[in-house]
Amino acid sequence: MPLVTLEVVRDSTLQGRTLELCSRGLPWVRKGSLAMLDQGLISGSNFLVTVLLARWLAPEQYGAYALAFSIFLLLVRVHDSLVSEPMTVFGPSSYADHRREYLGAVLKIEAVLGLALAAVLGLSAAVAHYLAAPAGLASALAGLSISTPCVLLLWVARYAFYVEQSPGSAASGAALYTVLVVSGTFVVFRHGWLSPFTAFMVTALGALVSSISMWIRLRPVLKRGSSPTPSNVWSLHWHYGRWVLGTSAVKWVPGNVSYVLTGSLLGMADVGALRALLNLSLPLLQAANSLSNLFQPYLARIHGKQGRAAIMGPVNLVTLLYLVGGVAYWALFTAFKVPILRFLYGGKFMEHASLVPWVTLGAVCMVGSYGGAIGLRAIQSPASVFLAYATAGVVSIGLGLVATWAFGLSGAIGGYVLSGMTVLSVTTYLFRRNVNPPPEISDHPSHKASVVTRKSVESSSND
């Protein structure tokens, strides 16, 4: 064949491959951008409100808000374990052909769970008031009891759109939430009503209105007798989520136990300072979470169709993406820590500027662990994720307690960094070990848990 003809064939082949890669990649760029927009709106509005509260509330009141918010994060993890995360695994697989019926069952489960959490928080607020807890804590818990079920309802709606690979719909709901919460916060501040209680009430109103608009679009089937039933869905979610539930509890520890330790050993004003510093890591963590919401069902689908080995490459790319973005974030905040603190808090907390690089380093380690954790969930090995975060929790409590007692706020930050390094190392190791298990660990508990969970999914699909 003439040389000119060969060159033409090569050029056409290269052009065809390029067009094919673009046709495959562009939809993911679009979806990823919308997922980032969705999470950016939710986390950005929450971050802005948190910063405004740090500026406008007294240190003790802000400390009470921070402590109540850390409790909310624990409850969110419990909720995600039993509702949201199983949705991303079973929604696109077991119940792909019964989407609306499945969403109806999930919505009923959500109603019961939300009311139960509201009751527990309301009782906690009453106990805090009776025991004369530190300033503002009782009212913060009372506001949290109303806000929590509303926010969780919004959370489930957003996850439902991610299961459908429709992050744009989630982003539109997030935009409505952002407008309502930010404007509402300014209104209560302008009228002199701002407190931890009213801050949570504004969040509750914004979440409730936004979630209702999203559920109308999702159109869940709520008729009695429809299949799957809430009991069947709950059974499958519980079978998977019981491991994730333990993971959620221990996952809460590295990022939030420092508030408890700081409040016990130092005081509410230091809790407020700690919260102000850890706020700086929120944009990075939330951006990684938004991408995780998109990657999780995608990797679960790959595992269901092609097996474990097929997700090794995608998980490595996700981990690299998180680490590169995290390092860039760390460099930015290290270089401009003083002007960033001054801009956000109006001159407050400037004495802690030297701790900013350490806070962001801990966040980099945390987001770096997300890749391995997503991979472990995709292969349905929640026991391994539990083990990784339990190890980090032990490090955070053990070393964090000693470090906070010995070095104060700096020690609390040090415990946060060490726990992040621990969870990054352990998740990476366990993912690789589970994807390519040597023969001698075929009886490992996490391996057995994965096999049992996979069988239950197959059984549910057949039903």
pLDDT digits (tens, 9 = 90+) for 190-240: 999 999 899 999 999 999 999 999 999 888 888 776 778 888 888 888 887
Q: Looking at residues 102-122, what average pLDDT do you find?
A: 89
Asked if residue 351 has pLDDT above 90, the reply is: no
Least confident of 121-130, 388-397, 445-454: 445-454
Asked if residue 12 has pLDDT above 60, the reply is: no
Task: Tell me the residue range of the domain where 66 lies.
Answer: 3-457
State residue 151's pLDDT score.
93
Q: How many CA atoms lie within 13 A of 283 on its CB side?
A: 15
Express each pLDDT in 28-86 by its tens digit: 566 667 777 887 788 778 888 888 888 888 877 888 888 888 888 778 878 888 888 78
State residue 8's pLDDT score.
46
Both tokens of 192, joined, read: 């002199």
Is residue 186 in some structural domain?
yes
Neighbours of 192 (CB within 10 A): 7
Asked if residue 443 has pLDDT above 70, the reply is: no
C-alpha distance from residue 142 to each of 65, 145, 441 (Å): 11, 5, 48
Mean pLDDT of the chain: 78
Q: Which three-class secondary structure state does DSSP give residue 134? A: coil
Q: Shortest CA distance to 92 belongs to which of 305, 241, 234?
A: 305
Is residue 291 in some structural domain?
yes
Q: Whole-angstrom Cα distance, residue 177 to residue 244?
A: 28
Q: Shortest CA distance to 200 belongs to which of 268, 267, 252, 149?
A: 149
Q: Whole-angstrom Cα distance, residue 368 to residue 279?
A: 18
Is residue 347 in some structural domain?
yes
Q: Are 233 and 100 in contact, with CB atoms under 8 Å apart? A: no
Q: pLDDT tier at 452 (50, 70, 90 boundaries)?
A: very low
Number of domains in the chain: 1
Is residue 317 in some structural domain?
yes
Is residue 104 in some structural domain?
yes
Q: Looking at residues 361-374, what average pLDDT do you find?
A: 88
Q: Whole-angstrom Cα distance, residue 124 to residue 142?
A: 8
| Nearby residues of 371 by Cβ (< 8 Å), 6 or more positions away | 315, 316, 318, 319, 320, 321, 322, 427, 428, 431
Is residue 177 in some structural domain?
yes
- Runs of H (alpha helix) within 191-229: 196-218
State residue 29's pLDDT score.
66
C-alpha distance from residue 198 to each of 181, 192, 208, 401, 419 (Å): 11, 11, 15, 33, 34
Is residue 463 in some structural domain?
no
